[in-house]
Amino acid sequence: MARPRKPLLSTGRIVEAARALVDAEGLAALSTRRLAAELGVSGPSLYNHFGTKDELLDALADSVSARVDLSMFEDGRPWRTALDDWARSYRAALARHPHLAPVLARGPGRRPAALRLADAVFGALTEAGWPPAQATSIGAALRWYVVGSALGSFAGGFVPDENAYDPADYPHLGQAHLLAERGGTVDERAFTTGLRALLDGFERQYAELPPRTA
Amino acid sequence: MARPRKPLLSTGRIVEAARALVDAEGLAALSTRRLAAELGVSGPSLYNHFGTKDELLDALADSVSARVDLSMFEDGRPWRTALDDWARSYRAALARHPHLAPVLARGPGRRPAALRLADAVFGALTEAGWPPAQATSIGAALRWYVVGSALGSFAGGFVPDENAYDPADYPHLGQAHLLAERGGTVDERAFTTGLRALLDGFERQYAELPPRTA
DNA sequence: ACCTGAACACCGTTCAAGT
DNA sequence: ACCTGAACACCGTTCAAGT
């Protein structure tokens, strides 16, 4: 066939297909050859649009970051409320593509949508009066918490086998096998509880800030 | 050669070599063939000791969990102090083997050392009077925070290139390229700040608990 | 510029064969 | 029981060749 008069591929179409594949079958199913087959082309064709598979993964991750709502930073909402909303929408976006969490965890690097996230959070905090160093810490802590929660379901980390956890070895894990069943609910409640604790804690630190001289 | 009179391999020796390889060259360098070569045997030999590569990874992850100090739960230390110490020693253990964080993030499953961690944390919280559901939430939140922090350096997620972040696109990221340089310090400070916030928040929730009837 | 098939240097895993 | 080499079905990536 060689070169068609109209390109068969585009970065957008590739990313779209990759996302569908990863969502359906996990990150391990994403091979360049498999993805190419899904797109009806041969393996090496992808290299006309991405330098490496890793660049493709970056673009894929950024397409998820791009879906995180940032509107809560637009009006003059209090920083705590804005961060609360942002953490939830960030988590929701990751929950829609759980297999991509490990890629998102890499950090923003040069990915535009991920950088817009970082910029919005940092900007909101400094404008609320947080010193830059503390704004950085808060952004990092929230990011770690959200990404950590998206990456490993806590409840799903246990096995639903009633006999998996011998009371002689683990005296306090008698009910742990139940976690796997009601996984989603347990994780949701834990996320909310932890987020509230984090924000309560930051609010306390905010109250101890020296008065603004601006 | 076929079977030697004394076994050449043992699960311990394999895990040890795997850890050295991953620490030195990252998770991607750990292939069964490469690891076997490192051990002076042929690739398939490993399958006499592990069913799959994934089982090997589980054992590898658990060897890290086994190194997390749990002594802070032994004496009757207040729950907050114990959790604070635990989170730091957990993070320190992961920081010593950063490439293994993605594997640790999978959750305890059937890994004995990881289960001992979960058991100790949950036990300490319930014995301090936390209701089981909230103890679960706190354990999950702390785990997410620690694993998240070990998995993705926040500072290292940015690029040390002075021109990487155009002020026109990201008005608040003017100093972000500096993060990559002083990465370790930035991450450490953020970890401490976030951990304090989390524990402050949980302490506040603890104070609001209905009085114990035990 | 954008696609192809062939090729290189890898993978994880199975299995019959050896002792 | 524990190792071997050969084999199967894969990988990511390069590259000359086609239009």
A212 inside domain: no
Tell me, what's the pLDDT at A183? 81
Pull the structure tokens for residue B17: 């070599």
Å between A111 CA and D9 C1'?
35
CA of B33: nucleotide with nearest C1'? C11
> Residue A40 maps to which CATH number?
1.10.10.60
Confidence of residue B183 (pLDDT cuts 50, 70, 90): confident
Binary contact (B194, A137; C-beta < 8 A): yes
On the 0-12 / 13-18 / 19+ scale of CB atoms within 10 A, B118 is buried
Separation of alpha carbons A167 and B176, rounded Å: 49
Q: Name which of A123, A141, A151 is nearest B172 (Cβ-Cβ).
A: A123
Cα–Cα distance, B71 to A148 (Å, whole number): 25
Both B47 and B131 in a single domain?
no
A65 secondary structure, DSSP code: H
Q: Using a CB-CB distance cutoff of 8 angstroms, which residues of chain A are in contact with residue B144?
A: 144-145, 148-149, 151-152, 154, 190, 194
Same domain flag for B137 and B198: yes
Please tell me the distance in Å from A168's CA to the nearest CA on chain B.
11
Structural domain contains residue A99: yes
Q: Which two tokens stand for residue A3?
A: 């070169």
Please state, in angstroms and rounded to a whole number, the distance separating the CA atoms of residues B96 and B180: 19
Please list, residue by residue across A74-105, b when 16 or more beta carbons sit within 10 angstroms of its beta carbon and e when fewer do.
eeebebeebbbbbbbbbbebbbebbbbbbbbb
Contacts of A159 in chain B (CB under 8 A): 109-110
**How many angstroms is C1' of D19 away from CA of B93?**
58
Checking if the pLDDT of A43 tops 80, the result is yes
Q: What pLDDT score was predicted for residue B1? A: 61
My answer on whether A103 and A201 are in the same domain is yes
Q: Please state, in angstroms and rounded to a whole number, the distance separating the CA atoms of residues B121 and B187.
A: 24
**Does one domain contain both A160 and A93?**
yes
Tell me the shortest Cα–Cα distance from B112 to chain A, in angstroms: 9
**Cα distance from B26 to chain A (closest Cα, Å)?**
14
How would DSSP label each residue in B10-54? -HHHHHHHHHHHHHHH-GGG--HHHHHHHHTS-GGGGGGT-SSHH
Positions 180-209 in B, CB within 7 angstroms of strand D: none
For residue A212, is pLDDT > 80? no
How confident is the model at residue B4, as a pLDDT?
A: 84
Domain CATH for A193: 1.10.357.10
Distance from CA of B138 to the nearest CA of A (A): 7
* Structure confidence at residue B76 as a pLDDT band (50, 70, 90): confident
By Cβ distance, the residue of A115, A136, A200 closest to B190 is: A136
pLDDT at residue A95 greater than cutoff 70: yes
Alpha-helical regions (H) of chain A: 11-25, 32-39, 53-65, 79-96, 101-104, 112-127, 132-151, 176-181, 183-207
Asked if A94 and A166 sit in the same domain, the reply is yes
Q: Among partner residues A142, A154, A165, which is closest to B107 by beta-carbon distance?
A: A154
CA distances from B13 to A100, B7, B26, B36, B59 (A): 33, 11, 19, 11, 12
Residues B33, B73: one domain?
Answer: no
Answer whether any strand D atom is within 7 A of the Cβ of B43: yes
Of B193, B205, B206, which to mutate for an interface test with A (greatest number of A Cβ within 10 Å)?
A: B193
Q: Residue A211 pLDDT more than 90?
A: no
* Rounded CA–C1' distance between A164 and D8, in angstroms: 36
CB contact under 8 A, A202 and B197: yes
Separation between the CA of B42 and the C1’ of D4 (whole angstroms): 7
Domain assignment of residue A59, yes or no: no
Nearest Cα to Cα of residue A110 among B189, B43, B169: B169
Q: Are residues B185 and B95 in the same domain?
A: yes
Contact at 8 Å (CB) between B91 and B146?
yes
Of B187, B199, B201, the CB nearest to A196: B201
Structurally, how many domains does chain B consist of? Answer: 2
Decide if B61 is inside a domain. Answer: no
Q: Are residues A121 and A37 in the same domain?
A: no
* Interface mutation vs chain A, best among B90, B151, B199, most A CBs within 10 Å: B151
| DSSP calls for chain B | --S-SS-S--HHHHHHHHHHHHHHH-GGG--HHHHHHHHTS-GGGGGGT-SSHHHHHHHHHHHHHTTS--GGGTS---HHHHHHHHHHHHHHHHHHSGGGHHHHTT--TT-HHHHHHHHHHHHHHHHTT--HHHHHHHHHHHHHHHHHHHHS-SGGGS---TTSS-TTT-TT-TTHHHHHHTHHHHHHHHHHHHHHHHHHHHHHHHHTSPPP--
Sign (positive or negative) of CA dihedral B200, B202, B207, B213: negative
Q: Does a structural domain hold residue A143?
A: yes
Specify if A21 maps to a domain.
Answer: yes
pLDDT tens-digit series, residues B43-73: 999 999 999 999 999 999 999 999 999 999 9
Query: Do residues B52 and B84 make contact, with C-beta atoms less than 8 angstroms apart?
Result: no
Q: What is the pLDDT of residues B128-179, one digit of tens each?
A: 999 999 999 999 999 999 999 999 889 999 999 999 999 999 999 999 999 9
**Pairwise CA distance, residues A122 & A137, whole Å:** 10
| Whether B104 contacts B147, CB under 8 Å | yes
Shared-domain flag, residues A98 and A195: yes
Show the tokens assigned to A52: 């490496």
pTM: 0.95
- d(C-alpha A105, C-alpha A27), whole Å: 14
CB contact under 8 A, B144 and A145: yes
For A126-156, how does the pLDDT look when each residue is reduced to its tens digit (9 = 90+)? Answer: 999 999 999 999 999 999 999 999 998 899 9
A47: number of CA atoms within 13 Å, CB side?
7
Closest C-alpha to A114, from B157, B24, B202, B88: B157
Residue B115 located in a structural domain: yes
Q: Does strand C come within 7 Å of the CB of B54?
A: yes
Mean residue pLDDT of chain B comes to 95
Task: Print the domain residue range for B181.
Answer: 69-207
